[in-house]
Structure 1
Amino acid sequence: MVSAPPRQAPGDLLVHLRRARDHADLHYAETLDLAAIAAVAGISKFHFQRLFTATYGVSPAAYLSRRRVERAQDLLRSTNLTVTEVCHAVGFSSLGSFSARFSELVGESPSGFQRRWAAAGPPRIPGCFVFMWGLAERASEEKPTGPEAS
């Protein structure tokens, strides 16, 4: 017996799913759980889980973890940050789970990936600048503007 393919979300829900996916893309380094992402879509977390998986072919957790690994690859290629610093910068809380997931998706360890890219030449962006830029960006978002700022 052949099972039916998973159903995709109805057109009106796709907008909400895209909003939640975009939110995960922008806030990948933050602590995001299923309930938080589902809240952005305005759907219960269980319904969101089913619709997201049927629509995008991966669970929200797998999507977020893949996005974090993609960003980690960028940082490992272009900065002089340590693997541990990259792990925490992209939102993983455990170096072990980061290394395991990275190896699973990329096919080599984070340190092996970084060594391979380091052989091509020095990193273009100093790690201290990456952290400064990230902190300055967050501070400007938190700084009040308008009449209440004075």
Structure 2
Amino acid sequence: MNLEDLVRLRRARDLVDRDYAKPLDVPALAHAALMSPGHFSRSFRAAFGETPYSYLMTRRIERAKALLRRGDLTVTEVCFAVGCTSLGSFSSRFTELVGETPSAYRARDHREGAAIPACVAKILTRPVRNGEARSTTPPVA
């Protein structure tokens, strides 16, 4: 993969990071990367190790976890706040990535992690797909 393609793919990934709550799909992301949808999907997976949709849902679930830890929004409100349009799909994906339902996650006591800096908490609480290993030590800066 050439450097120009990587720059374009990072532009699309940055769009997902910034606008995760907006309606995003592969054609829109491919347009941002100036690529055809098929080429974009294949290149994105090759560069980042996951599909564009999977990356988008991981960002949404990360944000949902933060909103649920606050405890002032319902699961339904969080679902729509992060850009999901189906509570059932959101709950299924959340459970798959986090290992517990959004309601159970919201009900759990999160005070012990409150003192952890946000940059470290993001790494430690990142959703993990089935088959991926989670590191038990934070990365060295």
TM-score normalised by L of structure 1: 0.72
Alignment of 1:62-81 (within 5 A): 62-81=54-73
Q: How many residues align?
A: 112
The 2-side partners of 1:117 and 1:32 are apart by 33
**SS in structure 2 at match of 1:43:** coil
**Which residue of structure 2 lines up, in the alignment, with residue 102 of structure 1?**
94
Unaligned segments of structure 2, at least 5 residues:
113-141
Match of 2:107 among 97, 108, 115: 115
**Which residue of structure 2 lines up, in the alignment, with residue 44 of structure 1?**
36
The 2-side partners of 1:117 and 1:88 are apart by 23
**Which residue of structure 2 lines up, in the alignment, with residue 22 of structure 1?**
14
The 2-side partners of 1:14 and 1:42 are apart by 12
The 1-side partners of 2:74 and 2:109 are apart by 13
Of Structure 1 and Structure 2, the greater helix share is in 1
8 Å CA contact retained: 2:71, 2:106: no
The 1-side partners of 2:90 and 2:44 are apart by 23
Give me the identity figure in percent.
54
Is 2:79 aligned against 1:87? yes
- C-alpha deviation, 1:100, in angstroms: 0.3
Unaligned segments of structure 1, at least 5 residues:
1-8, 122-150
TM-score normalised by L of structure 2: 0.76
Question: Partner letter of residue 93 of structure 2?
Answer: R
**SS in structure 2 at match of 1:117:** coil
**Which residue of structure 2 lines up, in the alignment, with residue 141 of structure 1?**
none
- C-alpha deviation, 1:11, in angstroms: 1.6
The 1-side partners of 2:45 and 2:106 are apart by 32
After superposition, the CA RMSD in angstroms is 1.3
Relative to structure 2, which stretch is displaced further, 45-54 or 9-18? 9-18
